[in-house]
Structure 1
């Protein structure tokens, strides 16, 4: 009965589905003297696990120190903030800031510009009419000759 339970635990152990308590039960069983004959092949494996568990190294390991990446990350974030601040500042300062007097002068300039454009259009129409009058005068001179 016990060997059937151990066989099921072994199967679960090799599939990685056992708890720590079940693994301790397997270690205790295979490190004892009453192991079933058909399971004796696993005794050396669990004995090796026990020996490996008790091994300790006296050698000291010195790991090289790693430079932290936080320094670079910090500089990247500062650089990004400066770029954004420069962009916002240049946009803000590139926009013209006029006083009330300058705004009124600009409005008057726009009105006079519109008036000049209207005058120019009318003068151009008048110049077209003059060409018609000149053509009329030339034709009249030909008729009365």
Structure 2
């Protein structure tokens, strides 16, 4: 086989740019006894691939109990639904449910609260004006002494 072609295939192989057919050509070349001296360093690599392909394990492989994992994930889903339902129910039932009489009492309370705030504001304005009267009294006392 041409050495130039093998060199190009080896360069492409080590770059990871070969097709399966090109790799088969390289395997056939290196599995023959007529390998060029400059390519002898790669021969054990390609021969080990062939040997690895023939290896078989006699050890039994246990995959575990897959059904147990499915049951656990099922229980997690059920627990998530229960927690969500509990949260929604707690929010719904925590909202106050007032009777018509209680709603009317709350409305009257809000109106009386507004009236008290208005009275307080006006009282505060009057109190501010009384400070001017106090100053007037002190000034008057100073003048008439």
Alignment TM class, shorter chain as reference = 0.5 to 0.7
Match of residue 139 from structure 2: none
TM-score scaled by length of structure 2: 0.58
TM-score scaled by length of structure 1: 0.58
CA distance in 2 between partners of 1:112 and 1:30 (Å) = 102
Structure 1 stretches of at least 4 aligned residues deviating more than 4 Å after TM superposition: 108-115
Match of residue 71 from structure 1: 71
CA distance in 2 between partners of 1:9 and 1:100 (Å) = 91
Deviations 1:109-138 (A, max 9, x none): 5556777x59x97xxxxxxxxxxxxxxxxx
TM-fit CA distance, 1:23: 0.8
Match of residue 99 from structure 1: 99
CA distance in 2 between partners of 1:49 and 1:110 (Å) = 88
Which residues of structure 2 form unaligned runs of 5+? 121-145
Let me know the Cα RMSD of the aligned residues. Answer: 3.4
3-state DSSP class of the match of 2:26? helix
Aligned length: 119
Rg larger in structure:
1
TM-fit CA distance, 1:20: 1.2
Which residues of structure 1 form unaligned runs of 5+? 122-145
3-state DSSP class of the match of 2:60? coil
